[in-house]
Structures are given as structure tokens and as C-alpha cells.
């Protein structure tokens, strides 16, 4: 998953934590149970699994702390450098794994506890494998890409609604932009084609063979034509009036799902649950089609165990259990997060799964097919910092604060400053 920022869930997690916070520093709850603290940046779909695990491990108390995406990774960096403050398990988004692999000595090597890297997609395991071969992260999910769309809004604009016919509208991103112009010509009042220009960019760049960093860890934002092409395409769509001008994961963005403010959204697997949680009343109005370009990846995370954990063995056992195929399959079928274990891509329970919320779309087939087609993209140590800077540049154009050429120049300047030695 990526950045499912749910304020209500953050508050719930903090409230649940409050009564035991003092004891957390000692690793025990008030009842004397061993306390495992899991720090995440969103809803990984684990709440029911925690309860199930605690039933079979009565001496454990699992406490989940949830903060925003950016704050979570900044906190983890600071705590690792400071030598204290980490949880027993720390979630890390894929874009940040290269940064933390450089600190591999501060994390448990899961191979020492019997983890087999071959359980995961080869590129997924490689993302969490340090230069000296340590496996510091267990893959939770991958962000295989599709396109979610509102059937009712398509019908009102005179566009086809059948998912195969819809996919045929946009074999590539220029066709997607052209279809957006058709939609806008007959769209319901105040309904945009998509939610945010930065999200369109994320989907496009997620399909590139090389993204922000090359395999030698050189930042190539300024020299890689794929980055500028993705930026230009997103800006072209924005300037055509196709964007709802929303900032992803903001309250206004959440409300946009509820109000039907846009007709399409680039949709990694984890986004399906975001839509469902934000706008449950829209069940049946959404559907899912193949993304322009056919595949790609946006997001996907890992579970790590810092060596400072006071309960390393118990933390590793829980992390392995949460990412095991049985639990990964359950999370996909209940939360929509696509597993990163390729063995599950041929499991009938996943491949044959259809999602009632999305008009019974065959989400299992759609997302596993996208994952199989995916061309893995190398992630560098600074990728987690670079992506938001480009997104901010597109948002400035989206909201009329800068012209495209001004925004791109500032992006290059911001990236250079953020990646300077």
C-alpha cells in the first residue's frame, strides 16, 4: 500500500495506545504481557489479524501506532540515527527501502529467522535486500495498477460503461487524455475527468523502465526523458481542464469520492479500499478497467524489525505471520491489497475473486495480470523524497500558481537541493 491517511483511524490507534504508553518503553503492558508496537503510516488491514494472532498468543499485546506517511518515515530515520524510539515492527514504503537499506545494520536480517527471499517477487525481495545480502524487509503488497471509473458518470457523458470497452478507449495515456476531452464535452456539471494531476503522473512514471534514479544510484530526474514526458502528459491533461484540482489524501480529496467530483482515478490495488472506505454509498457505481499502458506499479510496502526491538523474536514471528500467503490472501479479499507473493497469482481464491463494490469487477484477474506484466523499476535512496516534490510541482500548475515551465524549473531545483550530498 501507499499512503492511506485516515484521520479517524489515526485517532483510534492513538486512543488505544494512550492507556499503555508509559509501559511501552519497557515492552510490557499494565497486565504484564509482552507488548509489540507496530508503527505504520496507514491502514494495512491488520486489525482483525492482530486480534486473531493475540488469541493464539495470549502473552502478547499488539499496539499499532499510525501517523502520516511523511512523518512516519522521517520519525523512523530519526529514531534509527538516535538509537531509540523505534517500534518492534516498522512499516516502510517501497520508495524508502533503498534509503533504509543503507542502514541495514540497524535492522534484523530475516534470513536468520528462516525467511526465504524466493517467497516474494524477485524485484520485491531485491528492494529489501542490502548490498551484503541482508533481507531487512518482508513484502506486504505491491501497487499493481488499474483504472477505477464511475460507470454512472460515463453513461451520463455518453461513454461506454463495459470495462472491456472502456479499456479500449485508452490503450495509451494520450488516448486517456483524449477520452477525457470527450467526457468533459458532455459531462455532468462540475465533474472532472480525474482527481489530481499528480496522481496521473504517479501512474505514468510507475510504468517507466527507469524512474528517478538509475541502477548506479545516480538521480536522473533532469536527464531521464521518461520523467519529463510523464510530467508533460500530466500537465497537458491539467491544462485541458480535466483535473478536479484535489490534493491526494486531503479531506477535499476524500470528499471528492463522496460527491462524485471526478470520473476516473489511477488505481493501484490498495486504492480500491480507499474508495470503498471514503464513499461506501457509491457501491456498484464504480468499475475497474485496465490502465493505459497495461500495467505498472504505484506503492507497495514492507515490514521491518529494528534491532532495538526488545522482543525481536516475537516481532519477527508476527511480521512473518502477517506477510504469509494465507494472511496476504485474506487481506486482498477483504482490503484489496495485492500480495507480493507470486505463488498466489495462480491461486483460484485470488485470481477468481470479484469485488461487489466495483460492480463485481474481476479484481483478482485484473491486478494479478497487471503485476505479471510489470517491468520492475529500480528505486534509489532518495526516491521517497523526490516523488512528492514532482507531485507538488504538478499541483502548482493544477491550481494555477505556476506555468508548466516555471513548475518544472522549480522541481529540478527542489530535487537538486533534496538530493545534494
Say yes or no: 100 and 217 in one domain.
Answer: no
pLDDT (0 to 100) of residue 29 = 54
| pLDDT for 1 beyond 80 | no
- In a domain, residue 29? The reply is yes
pLDDT at 87 over 60: yes
Residues 57 and 180 grouped into a single domain? no
Which residues, 6 or more positions from 162, have their beta carbon under 8 angstroms from its beta carbon?
none
241 found inside a domain: yes
Q: Are residues 184 and 90 in the same domain?
A: no
With vertex at residue 110, the alpha carbon angle to CA 379 and CA 94, rounded to the nearest 5 degrees, is 20
CATH code for the domain of 392: 3.40.190.10
Mean pLDDT, rounded, for 212-229: 96
Beta bridge partners of 146: 267
Q: Which pLDDT does position 109 carry in this prediction?
A: 98
Domain for residue 356, yes or no? no
Q: Which residues contact 98 (CB under 8 A, 6 or more apart)?
A: 127, 213, 217, 379, 380, 381, 383
pLDDT at 48 over 80: yes
Domain contains 365: no
Considering the domain architecture, whether residues 184 and 261 belong to the same structural domain is answered as: yes
Q: Tell me, yes or no, whether 35 and 115 share the same domain.
A: yes
Residue 11 has what pLDDT?
A: 41
Mean pLDDT across 385-407: 95
Asked whether residue 359 is domain-assigned, the answer is: no
Lowest mean pLDDT among 11-25, 194-208, 238-252: 11-25
Q: For 41-48, what is the mean pLDDT?
A: 91
Residues 245 and 327 in one domain: no
Do 211 and 90 have their domain in common? no
| Same domain as 285, residue 380 | yes
pLDDT, average across residues 340-347:
94
pTM, full prediction: 0.87
Structure confidence at residue 2 as a pLDDT band (50, 70, 90): low
Query: In the chain, how many domains are there?
Result: 2
Same domain, 291 and 303: no
Instruction: Tell whether 121 and 89 lie within a shared domain.
Output: yes
Between residues 126 and 12, the one the model is more confident about: 126
Residue 76 lies in a domain: yes
Please check the confidence at residue 20 and state whether its pLDDT lies above 60: no
Q: What is the pLDDT of residue 10?
A: 41
- Domain around 415: 145-297+374-419
- What pLDDT is stored for residue 4 in this prediction? 44
pLDDT for 395 equals: 95
Strand pairing of 192-194 and 262-268? Answer: parallel
245 and 379 assigned to the same domain = yes
Look at residue 342 in the predicted model and tell me its pLDDT.
93
- What stretches of 262-355 adopt beta strand conformation (E)? 262-268, 286-289, 301-304, 338-339
Mean pLDDT of 227-254: 96
Residue 335 lies in a domain: yes
Same domain, 53 and 160: no
Question: Within a domain: residue 367?
Answer: no
Q: Using the predicted structure, report yes or no on whether residue 265 has a pLDDT greater than 90.
A: yes
Place of cell 509489540: 36
Amino acid at each position: 500500500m501507499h499512503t492511506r491517511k485516515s484521520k479517524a483511524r489515526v485517532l483510534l490507534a492513538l486512543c488505544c495506545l494512550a492507556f499503555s504508553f508509559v509501559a511501552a518503553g519497557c515492552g510490557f503492558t499494565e497486565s504484564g504481557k509482552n507488548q509489540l508496537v507496530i508503527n505504520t503510516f496507514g491502514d494495512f488491514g491488520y486489525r482483525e489479524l492482530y486480534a486473531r494472532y493475540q488469541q493464539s498468543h495470549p502473552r502478547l499485546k499488539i499496539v499499532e501506532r499510525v501517523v502520516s506517511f511523511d512523518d512516519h518515515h522521517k520519525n523512523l530515520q530519526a529514531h534509527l540515527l538516535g538509537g531509540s524510539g523505534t517500534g518492534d515492527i516498522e512499516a516502510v514504503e517501497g520508495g524508502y527501502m533503498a534509503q533504509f537499506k543503507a542502514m541495514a545494520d540497524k535492522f534484523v536480517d530475516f534470513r536468520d529467522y528462516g525467511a526465504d527471499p524466493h517467497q516474494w517477487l524477485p524485484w520485491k525481495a531485491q528492494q529489501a535486500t542490502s548490498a551484503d545480502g541482508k533481507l531487512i524487509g518482508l513484502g506486504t503488497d505491491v501497487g499493481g495498477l488499474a483504472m477505477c471509473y464511475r460507470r454512472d458518470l460515463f453513461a451520463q457523458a455518453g461513454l461506454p460503461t463495459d470495462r472491456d470497452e472502456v479499456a479500449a478507449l485508452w490503450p495509451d495515456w494520450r488516448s486517456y487524455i483524449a477520452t477525457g476531452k470527450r467526457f468533459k464535452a458532455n459531462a455532468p456539471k462540475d465533474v472532472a475527468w480525474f482527481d489530481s494531476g499528480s496522481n496521473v503522473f504517479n501512474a505514468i512514471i510507475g510504468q517507466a523502465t527507469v524512474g528517478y534514479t538509475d541502477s548506479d544510484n545516480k538521480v536522473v530526474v533532469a536527464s531521464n526523458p521518461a520523467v519529463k514526458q510523464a510530467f508533460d502528459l500530466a500537465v497537458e491533461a491539467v491544462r485541458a481542464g480535466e483535473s478536479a484540482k484535489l490534493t491526494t489524501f486531503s479531506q477535499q480529496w476524500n470528499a471528492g469520492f463522496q460527491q462524485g467530483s471526478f470520473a476516473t482515478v489511477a488505481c493501484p490495488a490498495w486504492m480500491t479500499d480507499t474508495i470503498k472506505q471514503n464513499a461506501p454509498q457509491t457501491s456498484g457505481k464504480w468499475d475497474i478497467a485496465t490502465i493505459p499502458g497495461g500495467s505498472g506499479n504505484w506503492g507497495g510496502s514492507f515490514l521491518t524489525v529494528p534491532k532495538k526491538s526488545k522482543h525481536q523474536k516475537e516481532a519477527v514471528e508476527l511480521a512473518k505471520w502477517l506477510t504469509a500467503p494465507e494472511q496476504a490472501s485474506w487481506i486482498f479479499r477483504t482490503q484489496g491489497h495485492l500480495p507480493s507473493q507470486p505463488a498466489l497469482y495462480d491461486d483460484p481464491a485470488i485470481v477468481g475473486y470479484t469485488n461487489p463494490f466495483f460492480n463485481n469487477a474481476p479484481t483478482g484477474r485484473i491486478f494479478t495480470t497487471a503485476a505479471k506484466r510489470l517491468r520492475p523499476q529500480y528505486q534509489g535512496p532518495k526516491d521517497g523524497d523526490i516523488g512528492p516534490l514532482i507531485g507538488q510541482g504538478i499541483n502548482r500548475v493544477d491550481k494555477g500558481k505556476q506555468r508548466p515551465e516555471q513548475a518544472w524549473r522549480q522541481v529540478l531545483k527542489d530535487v537538486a537541493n533534496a538530493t545534494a550530498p
